[in-house]
Amino acid sequence: MVQQTEAIAPDTQHEAPPEVVKSLRDHGALPQWRLMWRQFRRHRLALIGLIVLIPIYFMAVFAGFFAPSSADTAHTALPYAPPQRVHISAEHGMFVYGYSSTRNQETFEQTFTVDKSKIVDVGWFVRGDEYSVVGPIKSNIHLIGPTKAGEAFFLVGADQSGRDLLSRLIHGARVSLSIGLVGVFASFLLGMLIGGISGYVGGRVDNIIQRIIEFIMSVPTLPLWMALSAALPGSWGPLTRYFAITVILSLIGWTGLARDVRGRFLSLREEDFVMAARLDGVGRTGIIFGHMVPSFASHIIASISMAVPRMILAETSLSFLGLGLQPPAVSWGVLLEGAQNIRAVATAPWLLTPGLAVVVVVLAMNFVGDGLRDAADPYK
Amino acid sequence: MQPLLEVRELRTHFELSDGVVKAVDGVSLSVPRGRTLAVVGESGCGKSVTARSILRLVEKPARIVGGEILLYDDAPDTKPLDLLAAKDKRLRQVRWADIAMVFQEPMASLSLVHTIGDQIIEAVRLHENVGKQAARDRAIEMLDRVGIPDPKRRVDSYPFQLSGGMRQRAMIAMALSCRPRLLIADEPTTALDVTTQAQILDLLQDLQQEFGMAIMLITHDLGVAAQVADEVAVMYLGEVVEQGPASAVLSNPKHPYTQALVRSVPRLGLRGKDRLVAVRGTVPPPYERPTGCRFHPRCDSFMAGKCDVTVPVRVRSDEIDVACLLYGEEER
Amino acid sequence: MSLLETKGLTMHFPLHGGFLGRNRGFVKAVDGVDLSIKAGRTLGLVGESGCGKTTLGRCIVRAYEPTSGSIMFDGVDLAPLSEKQLKPYRAQVRLIFQDPHSSLDPRTTLRDIIAEPLRVQESGSRDEIDDKVASLLRRVGLRAEYAHRYPHAFSGGERQRVVIARALATEPRLVVADEAVSALDVSVRAQILNLLRDLQEESGLTYLFVSHDLGIVEHVADDVAVMYVGKLVESASTEELYSKPLHPYTEALLSAVPDPDPASRGQRERIKLLGEIADPSRVPAGCPFHPRCGYAEARCASEVPQLREIGGRKVACHLAEQLDLMGVLTATTAP
């Protein structure tokens, strides 16, 4: 590597684009994260994404409270029951109408009609299925639900076993949203470690690591995931399976991140301010953790935030194919598996709502990631 | 005599999220026919933006918000063309054919995937009705003219195969291939070594004599300006503070800013062991343009209650147009 | 006595390329340089880009580990020292970077930037270091309150003052200024040059002033060394070198500098150099300058000229005695 930086009279190097100096005004005392926040705020879509994501994650954390029932409470008599509308009247307060079902004599298909004679009272903070808030602390208060526990209450309809889709969606969000974070965290650790070694040590080690990464990247992901998850023993419980899937997802996800980290290390090693620290007499670890990691941390966070939606999509695809999580575990992918049947979708289109949830979340995350990426280097 | 190009009250602003940066804010200058005007100033003074605004080569967030740029025809008493008001199609004809531009970093303006010859041929054929072979001959002739050795072979090389100096020569060949009446050279030698810089400056002067075009040279280097310019315009914070003949402006400047600038450059061969005379302070940040005369916070001749209040208008003092309140009172 | 003396200092960078990065030769950035600087003086090091002057400066501050040769600093050879052994010398030999934008970590306050070398050298308590930073800031012409601000709020000239403060924090004896004012605006350059000179007068600093700008070097340097493709081609006192260069390359460099006085136009004769600086990975045989030299003879293409002494100055040219070269020093205003 040739290391020469003898530029000639670059007086004008810093000329012209006033964008360079736009951060000069009045915030000389602001640390990096404040500058980043300023920049992020200007990215309107990213802000919208954030505003969408925060309540969704909040809901996922307190799924038991926000969901009207547990994920498994089934009304076997009401498969594919359509969504109910909430009515408000002076007489009854908040209520929904019940169903009356008739069976088509020719096709044996069950059809539901709204039965205005059956009134199900609905209230805020009602008692219903028991759930655990945190660990052993249990509660049975739900944000919204039928005042008389156990009555059918399907705001977005029911699935093939007569389970409330909204409740399943909210419970499924826990898995779907957390698998992205956990998976990314695992690939982050791997990527940082391997990429860091590759970039800092360089030479032969770097060469070997890069070739391995290239190999992994060249393997088509979907078949690999499928093969790996198909190899998981069927006897594993949902929790073990969850972690196994996370590991499988992150095994592949780390490569991009490792390359990113390595690239940053390599370019930072040549930075003047890193050399300045070395000439100040700062040791290796001091330089890495005092100067190098802080300068690329924001970039890494940005690229991680772009990796989360990819993980969510991967989990959804695997579960949709029946290779990821399996019932009784609930995730958006598992829910979508129920919508594989065209006829079921034709009669009960609300089964596709988990897909809508995936789209909304992934879009919002991409927007946030975009905003983070733009804000990652506020000094540009 | 009628000038070739006249810039009147040009304003180009950058509309950024933090506010508006008035990079060019009321620039007026004129480029004489067949001669060289050097536009001199420090970084951030708006000299490059002015150059780009002439051909309307500014992109978002920059916007030309006002002014006139008048290109005069060779025949006297014809109506000049206002480049800012011209239709896009008309402007495209003016680029290359009437006004061509050379940049500091030729790599940024040459296409990396086309040979130099192809780029010149394309430019020529876009503006003139000539055959492919004729255009190629023209390309070879131009490359030869700018001093690229072995032009018959070099015409088929790609920009990355040439050294910095050679690339700048190729860029000049391309700019001059349609025989423009004005060549705008934006810091053409800043990225080059002194020895190469001297070669390029000599080349520009030779070409000017041969083709008779006017040159507008943007530079931060007073030495370069002194070597090639007939006229000098000095810019500070988006304005022209002084314009006049090079000999007058550089050896006997009127504006305190130019005076300070000239004094602060150590001159070769006049070795003085004394301290340099420095301009006080720094160029103010782009959002905080001083009131009144923009140079007043750094000016040694600052007159309180006057310079910080009144915006100086340009007056003529000797042969120089100067925008400073020290001058013009008595003449007016 | 010389504070710094290099002997045969050489820095070759391996050229990697091809599959699995096989070595394809070397870039001879610095190739056997003998240089000496007397304490309290300023040596100007000039040359075109790619001549190796920046690399030489960086070898001296031991940013690079030289391939061979010695760097005698005050009687100690810095070249073979390990990072640990170097620590005390890191405080005594300092570097001022060219680009004040890239050499300051944007995530660190001025206080932490300037205090870093002090922290490493463990010189004093937190309060003592704070006081020291404040006095350094004042010394380079900045306000002490700026200590808690970040570099991005400052202009190029102000940042360069911070860079200088950092270099001076450990009270060094030798400062390598690598194009220290090249990235600055013309009007700010003079301020920084004056500051560097004041600091030299106050603390008896020794400078190695690396620059491509011959006008500035003439102003600041007591002695000047000229480099071409990794080698010294000439060194002499500033006055001697500018008034009568002995090497054709020096002559060409001097004549290429544009004079800001329009009256001088056309009066000075320009030496036209052919071509451009040689590629340091493929140095021409014989005198590396011969393909561009207007005076070259047959033996210049085959025999490598050694740096030799002529009348108390040094030059590496076969023809030094025969040539009568043109300088620029027309009027000496020095007392």
Chain B residue numbers touching A15 (CB-CB < 8 A): 43-44, 48, 220
pLDDT tens, residue by residue, A75-95: 777 777 788 888 888 777 778
Q: How confident is the model at residue C268 (pLDDT cuts 50, 70, 90)?
A: low
Residue A363 identity (one-letter amino acid): L
Alpha carbon separation from A130 to A65, A161, B3, C71 (Å, rounded): 10, 20, 89, 78
Best to test chain B binding among A6, A8, A11, A12 (most B CBs inside 10 Å): A12
Q: What are phi and psi of A118, to 5 degrees?
A: -95, 120
- Restricting to C residues 236-265, those with a Cβ less than 8 Å away from any Cβ of A are none
pLDDT at C228: 92
Q: CA of B218: which chain A residue's CA is closest?
A: A12
A31 touches chain C (CB under 8 A): yes
What pLDDT score was predicted for residue B270?
A: 64
Summarize pLDDT for A200-223 with one digit per residue, the tens. 777 888 889 899 988 888 888 778
Q: How confident is the model at residue C233 (pLDDT cuts 50, 70, 90)?
A: very high
What integer is the mean pLDDT of A103-124?
75
Confidence of residue A70 (pLDDT cuts 50, 70, 90): confident
Distance from the Cα of B77 to chain A's closest Cα (Å) equals 37
Indicate yes or no: CB of B17 within 8 angstroms of CB of A42: yes
Of the listed ranges A117-121, A224-228, C18-22, the one predicted with least confidence? C18-22
Poorest-confidence range of A9-13, B98-102, C68-72? A9-13
Q: Which two tokens stand for residue C111?
A: 């206080």
User: What confidence score (pLDDT) does residue B2 get?
Assistant: 83
Give residue C330's pLDDT band: very low, low, confident or very high (50, 70, 90): low
How high is the pLDDT of residue C23?
A: 65
A88 contact B CB<8A: no
Q: Which helix (H) or strand (E) holds C32?
A: strand C22-38
Give the burial class of B32: count Cβ atoms within 10 A of its Cβ; 0-12 exposed, 13-18 middle, 19 or more buried.
middle
Q: What separation in angstroms does the CA of B208 have from each of A347, B172, B211, C218?
A: 81, 12, 5, 33
- Distance from the A191 Cα atom to the nearest Cα atom in chain C, whole angstroms: 22
**B161 touches C: beta carbon within 8 Å:** no
Of C61, C148, C150, Cβ closest to residue A279: C61
Nearest chain B Cα distance for residue A26, angstroms: 10
pLDDT band at A17 (very low <50, low <70, confident <90, very high): very low
User: How near does any CA of chain A get to the CA of C311, in Å?
Assistant: 32
Q: Which H or E run includes A50?
A: helix A44-61
List pLDDT tens digits, range C102-158: 999 988 999 999 999 998 887 778 899 999 999 999 888 888 888 888 888 788 888
Residues linked to residue B5 through DSSP beta bridges, in sequence order = B31, B71
Asked if C186 is an interface residue toward chain A (Cβ–Cβ < 8 A), one would say yes
Give ipTM to 2 decimals. Answer: 0.86
Interface test with chain B among C202, C211, C261, by most B beta carbons within 10 Å? C261
pLDDT attached to residue B8: 93
pLDDT value, residue A87: 80
Closest-CA residue in chain A for B288? Answer: A25
Model pLDDT for residues B242-287, shown as the tens digit of each residue: 999 999 999 899 999 999 888 888 777 665 666 777 787 777 777 7
- Count of A-C CB contacts under 8 Å: 120
B15 in contact with A, Cβ within 8 Å: no
Contact A8 B187 (CB under 8 A): no
Chain C residue numbers with beta carbons less than 8 Å from the beta carbon of A379 are 106, 152
3-state secondary structure of B70: strand
Q: Which residue has the higher pLDDT, A129 or C87?
A: C87
Q: Rounded to two decimals, what is the model's pTM?
A: 0.81
- pLDDT bin (cut points 50, 70, 90) of residue C70 is very high
- Residue A217 and residue A255 in contact, taking contact as beta carbons nearer than 8 Å: yes
Determine the average pLDDT of the residues in C235-263.
Answer: 89
Chain A (24-43) residues lying within 8 Å, Cβ to Cβ, of chain B: 24-25, 42
Q: Which of B268, B282, B294, B319 to mutate to test the interface with C (most CBs of C within 10 A)?
A: B268
A301: nearest Cα among A351, A260, A338: A260
**pLDDT tens per residue across span C27-63:** 888 999 999 999 999 999 999 888 899 999 999 999 9
Chain B segment 189-218 residues within 8 A of C by beta carbon are: 193-199, 201-202
Q: Please check the confidence at residue A25 and state whether its pLDDT lies above 50.
A: no
B155 and chain A in contact, CB less than 8 A: no
Is the Cβ of A32 closer than 8 Å to some Cβ of chain C?
yes
Residue A58 has pLDDT above 60, yes or no: yes
pLDDT, one tens digit per residue, over B312-322 is 888 888 888 99
- Weakly modelled stretches of chain B, pLDDT under 50: 330-332
Between the ranges A95-104, A371-380, C282-291, where is the mean pLDDT highest? C282-291
Res C200: pLDDT: 93
- Cβ-nearest to C183 among A10, A279, A283: A10
Confidence of residue A5 (pLDDT cuts 50, 70, 90): very low
* Partner-chain contact C117 A13, CB within 8 Å: no
Residue A98: strand pairing partners: A115
Q: Inspect the interface and report whether the beta carbons of B220 and A12 lie closer than 8 Å.
A: yes
For residue B103, give how far its alpha carbon lies from the nearest alpha carbon of chain A (Å).
12
Which residue in A13, A25, A27, A273 has the most chain C C-beta atoms within 10 A of its own C-beta, making it the best mutation to test that interface? A273
Higher pLDDT, C316 or C23: C316
| Rounded distance between C-alpha atoms, residue B51 and residue B289, angstroms | 21
Query: Given a cut of 60, is residue A254 above it in pLDDT?
Result: yes
How far away is chain C from the Cα of B22, in angstroms, using its nearest Cα?
A: 18
Q: What is the Cα–Cα distance from C165 to A280, expressed in whole angstroms?
A: 12
Residue C322 C-alpha, separation from nearest chain A C-alpha, in angstroms: 33
* B205–chain C nearest CA distance, Å: 12
Q: For the ranges A9-13, B35-39, C98-102, C301-305, which has the lowest average pLDDT? A: A9-13
CA dist list (Å): A318 to A222, A230, A322: 8, 10, 6
> Which among B190, B193, B287 has the least Cβ separation from residue A25?
B287
> Which amino acid would we find at residue B256?
P
Name the residue facing A11 among C63, C117, C185 (closest C-beta): C185
The CA angle A67-A69-A71, to the nearest 5 degrees, is 90
Residues of chain A neighbouring C95 (CB-CB closer than 8 A): 276, 279
| Partner A contacted by B202 (CB < 8 A) | no
pLDDT of A3 > 90? The answer is: no
Cβ pair B271:C238 closer than 8 A = yes
- Report the mean per-residue pLDDT for chain A: 79
pLDDT of residue B103: 85
**What are the respective helix, strand and coil percentages of chain A, to the nearest 5?**
60, 15, 30
Task: Check A31 against C15: CB less than 8 A apart.
Answer: no
Reply yes or no on whether the pLDDT at A1 is more than 50: no
Write the DSSP string, A277-344.
HHHTT--HHHHIIIIIHHHHHHHHHHHHHHHHHHHHHHHHHHHHTTSSS-TTS--HHHHHHTT--HHH
DSSP secondary structure string for all residues of B267-299: PTT----SPP-PPPS-PPPTT-PPSSSTTGGG-
> Per-residue pLDDT for C1 more than 80?
no
Cβ atoms of B159 and B107 within 8 Å: the answer is: yes
Tokens of A6: 């003898």
Q: Give the model's pLDDT for residue A20.
A: 34
